[in-house]
Amino acid sequence: MKRVGGDDLYVDLEVSFPEAALGAEKEVDVFGQKVQVKISGGDAAQREH
């Protein structure tokens, strides 16, 4: 599902547990164009905000 909120575009993307834990790159179709999305691995609590 794709939706727009202000200047942001939101896309639902299935991510497996290993992809979430280790990090990955996924290809996403956005308005007919393929875009690479980088998924940072690890725990969000471990990262500085």
Q: For the chain, which residues make up each domain, given as ranges?
A: 2-40
- The residue type of 36 is Q
Global model pTM greater than 0.75: no
Note the pLDDT tens digit of each residue in 1-27.
666 778 888 888 899 999 989 999 999
pLDDT band at 45 (very low <50, low <70, confident <90, very high): low
CA distances for 48 relative to 8, 31, 43, angstroms: 23, 32, 11
DSSP 8-state assignment for residue 28: E
Q: Between 16 and 30, name the one with better pLDDT.
A: 16
What does the pLDDT read at residue 22?
92
Backbone conformation region of residue 22, classed left if phi is above 0, alpha if psi is from -120 to 50, else beta: alpha
Please list, in sequence order, all residues whose beta carbon lies within 8 angstroms of the beta carbon of residue 2, skipping any fewer than 6 positions away: 9, 10, 11, 12, 30
